[in-house]
Amino acid sequence: MKVTLPTQSLMEGIGHGAHVAASKSPKPILECVALRADSTTGVSLEATDLDVGIRFHLGEASVSEEGSLVVPASRLLSIVREVDEDETTLEETGGNLAVDTGRSHFSVRGEDIEQFARLPFFPDAAAATIPADLLRNMIRRTRFAAATEAGRFALHGVLMNISGKSIELVATDGRRLARARGDLDTKAARDIKVIVGPKGLGLLERVLGARVADADGGDVSIAVEDRQVLFRAGGALVVSRLIDGTFPAYEDVIPKAPKHHFKAVVADLAAGLRRASLMTTRDALSVEFLIDPDAVTIKSRAMEVGQAEIEVPVQYDGPPSRIGFNPVFIQDALKIMDPAAEIRFAFTDAKAPATISDTPAGSDGYVYVVMPVALE
């Protein structure tokens, strides 16, 4: 194998590969990326940890000799980060990878490519096609709400439900829930209802954010095969193993008609929560919302550090209310919203779940549900 390619393209591909490859594994091959050079298809880079995988096409490569080689991802990434030249030459020499930039020369020990798990190829026909910007935004607005603690396995993933010309993503950890819905330009060839791991969706979000899927007109093609979901975006293929289990009946959790609501600017509420959180601890992780006309007063108190009282301007004409929340759960939702946007914070009482939405009232676009916490 001998190829010459733009250093920036190589850096991008290795960056995605290193993000997938395990940093420490009993199987050294899982810490590696595979480089494959073909005179017809060009140069591609692959990485997998057996749950998530990526195949990334490295554009504008000149292939002098075909071949393939597996090398440690972190080592190769460290080398390429030090390259100043616009182009880099990669060549296999005696089972090792020679990296030549004109003024610098490196040799990286290669691994046995027969031990590297081959990734699947995208099928001839996609089950659905999603606008890349829409899918990336929906992932960003839901993935963070998936469970991370041990428990029901299905909650550790994001439900992806595609039917007709609509797509829905839902994530919950049992204490909060994020649901995003969107409309598709074209009807799906077949319905999809699967639970996808957050690491796979995070990788897809990363790829879409770094590189517009221009090869498919800005679209992401989706297919499901052999308990895996495949996302093809331009020159990248992201593969994620599906999570088994039954996703909870989340529709029953979303309040249908909360009795009251106030409106606030995202930046104002986020700043108030950030300041109030300065007087919380791991053992006293809660804030008190005192909701009155024109203002919400956010109070926090921890015996060992002190207390805080922050006033946030709002639009509200309901009765005075007092509700407790975990501030982190609300802050997580506000982070993915436009700071200048106005949110609708709907609630019924101190025991019922509240909802936060930055879409117009009555819209079915995005809703975030958070359970209150008991106050002393």
Mean pLDDT, residues 86-104 taken together: 90
Mean pLDDT, residues 217-241 taken together: 93
CA separation for the pair 155, 121 (Å, rounded):
28
- Residue 154's pLDDT band, with cuts at 50, 70 and 90, is confident
In this structure, how many other beta carbons lie within 10 angstroms of the beta carbon of residue 186?
Answer: 11
Which residue spans within 134-189 are E strands per DSSP?
Answer: 158-163, 166-172, 176-183
Based on the domain organization, do 289 and 207 belong to the same domain?
no
- Mean pLDDT rounded to a whole number for the chain: 92
Give the least confident one: 105-109, 143-147, 214-218.
Answer: 214-218
Residues 6+ apart with CB under 8 A from 350: 321, 322, 323, 324, 372, 375
| pLDDT at residue 363 is higher than 80 | no
Stated pTM of the model: 0.91
16 Cα distance to chain centroid: 13
Judge contact between 259 and 319, C-beta under 8 A: no
E strand or H helix that includes residue 68: strand 67-72
Token digits of residue 235: 């020159």
CA separation for the pair 343, 266 (Å, rounded):
6
Q: Quick check: helix, strand or coil at residue 75?
A: helix
Mean pLDDT, residues 105-130 taken together: 93
Q: Quick check: helix, strand or coil at residue 44?
A: strand
**120 is a domain residue:** no
Domain that holds residue 139: 128-250
**234 is a domain residue:** yes
What is the CB-side half-sphere exposure of residue 248 using CA atoms within 13 A? 20
| pLDDT at residue 365 is higher than 90 | no
| pLDDT at residue 192 is higher than 50 | yes
Choosing from 250, 276, 301, the residue where a domain stops is: 250
Based on the domain organization, do 211 and 282 belong to the same domain?
no
Give the number of domains in the chain: 3
**DSSP conformational letter for 157:** S
What's the full length of the chain, in residues? Answer: 376
Based on the domain organization, do 40 and 13 belong to the same domain?
yes
| pLDDT at residue 222 is higher than 90 | yes
Q: Tens digits of per-residue pLDDT, 329-339?
A: 999 999 999 99
| pLDDT at residue 317 is higher than 50 | yes
Judge contact between 213 and 220, C-beta under 8 A: yes
Handedness of CA 145, 148, 150, 152 (dihedral sign): positive
**375 is a domain residue:** no
> What percent of the chain clears pLDDT 70, i.e. is strictly above it?
97
Task: Give, in order, the Cα–Cα distances in Å from 351 to each of 32, 152, 322, 323, 344.
Answer: 50, 24, 10, 8, 19
CATH of the domain at 269: 3.10.150.10
User: What Rg, from alpha-carbon coordinates, does the chain have?
Assistant: 24
Based on the domain organization, do 240 and 275 belong to the same domain?
no
- Residue 218's pLDDT band, with cuts at 50, 70 and 90, is confident
**376 is a domain residue:** no
**Phi, psi for residue 327 in degrees, rounded to 5:** -65, -30
**352 is a domain residue:** yes
Based on the domain organization, do 220 and 142 belong to the same domain?
yes
Mean pLDDT, residues 356-367 taken together: 80
Based on the domain organization, do 240 and 258 belong to the same domain?
no
Please choose, from the candidates 203, 206, 144, the residue with its C-alpha nearest in 3D space to the C-alpha of residue 169.
144
CA separation for the pair 111, 32 (Å, rounded):
8
Residues 6+ apart with CB under 8 A from 132: 208, 212, 213, 218, 219, 220, 233
Please choose, from the candidates 18, 17, 30, 110, the residue with its C-alpha nearest in 3D space to the C-alpha of residue 69.
110
What pLDDT is recorded for position 194?
97
Q: Tens digits of per-residue pLDDT, 263-297?
A: 999 999 999 999 999 999 988 899 999 999 999 99
Mean pLDDT, residues 8-29 taken together: 89
Based on the domain organization, do 161 and 264 belong to the same domain?
no
Based on the domain organization, do 92 and 181 belong to the same domain?
no
Mean pLDDT, residues 185-196 taken together: 96
Choosing from 227, 250, 273, the residue where a domain stops is: 250
| pLDDT at residue 217 is higher than 60 | no
Based on the domain organization, do 244 and 267 belong to the same domain?
no
Based on the domain organization, do 67 and 157 belong to the same domain?
no
**123 is a domain residue:** no
Specify burial of residue 50 (Cβ count, 10 A radius: 0-12, 13-18, 19+). Answer: exposed
What pLDDT is recorded for position 288?
97
What pLDDT is recorded for position 284?
86
| pLDDT at residue 23 is higher than 80 | no
Based on the domain organization, do 101 and 142 belong to the same domain?
no
Based on the domain organization, do 243 and 154 belong to the same domain?
yes
CA separation for the pair 219, 163 (Å, rounded):
17
Choosing from 250, 267, 297, the residue where a domain stops is: 250
Mean pLDDT, residues 211-233 taken together: 80
